[in-house]
Amino acid sequence: MVYFCKQKAGGIDVRLFVAVDLSGEVKAALEDIQGQLKGSGVHGRYTARENLHITLAFIGEYGDAQAVLDALEGVRFEPFGLGLDGMGSFGGLWWAGIRAGGGLKGLAAQVRRQLAMANIPFDRKKFSPHITLIRDPDKQVIPQVKIPDVKMTVEGFSLMLSERGKRGMIYTELGTVSAGKEEETI
C-alpha cells in the first residue's frame, strides 16, 4: 500500500470508496463518447475526466480511513485487462459498460471480503461494473454512439476520498494497492 495522504486517514467521518483508476487512453475514449453525446444534443452533468473511475466498493461516511487502508493491504491479485463495452443507464445516470473477464469481478469480491473481515461497512448491493459518464441527462433515450476499441491493464486500485467541491465532486486518492506484490515499499 502506498499512502498518498496520511493526514486525511484518521479522525472525523469522511466519504470513502474503493475504485480502479483508468488509463489515459481509456479516459480519452470515454471523453470521446461524452463528446458524441454532447454532439447529439445531450445536456447534463458530465463526469469530469479526472473523476472517471470504476467503483469496486462504496463505503460512505466512515471515521477510520487508516483501518480501511490496512484492510485493503490484504488484497492480492494479478494484473488483468479490461475494455469498454457499450452503454447503459440506471435511471438518470448513464454509464459505459466494461468488458473484463473474471478479473474485475474477482478483484471487487476480494476487496469486499477484506472490508467485511475488518468490519468496515460498505454497500453490499451486487457489483455492477460501470463508468458513470453523465448524470441527469435531459434525454430519455441514449443516442447511438461508437465505442472506441481501447484496452488497458489494471495494475492497482485505490481508496478514494469523495468531497463536494464548488464545481462538483473532488476525489482524492488516499492510498493504492498494486497487483502481484507481497509488500509495497515507498
Residue number, 135 or 139, with CB nearest to ligand ATP: 135
Cβ within 8 Å of residue 117, ≥6 positions away: 71, 74
Report the distance separating Cα 158 and Cα 169, nearest Å: 17
Interface residue with ligand ATP among 1, 9, 14, 17 (CB under 6 A) is 17
- Give the DSSP H or E segment for 85: strand 80-90
126 CB neighbour count, 10 Å cutoff: 5
- Give the DSSP H or E segment for 35: helix 24-39
Decide: is 166 part of the binding site for ligand ATP (CB under 6 A). no
Distance between first and last Cα of the chain: 8
Interface residue with ligand ATP among 125, 126, 146, 167 (CB under 6 A) is 125
Site map for ligand ATP, 59-98, x if CB under 6 A?
----------------------------------------
Interface residue with ligand ATP among 32, 36, 44, 58 (CB under 6 A) is 58
Residue number, 15 or 151, with CB nearest to ligand ATP: 15
Interacting residues with ligand ATP (CB under 6 A): 15, 17, 55, 58, 123, 125, 132, 135, 162, 169
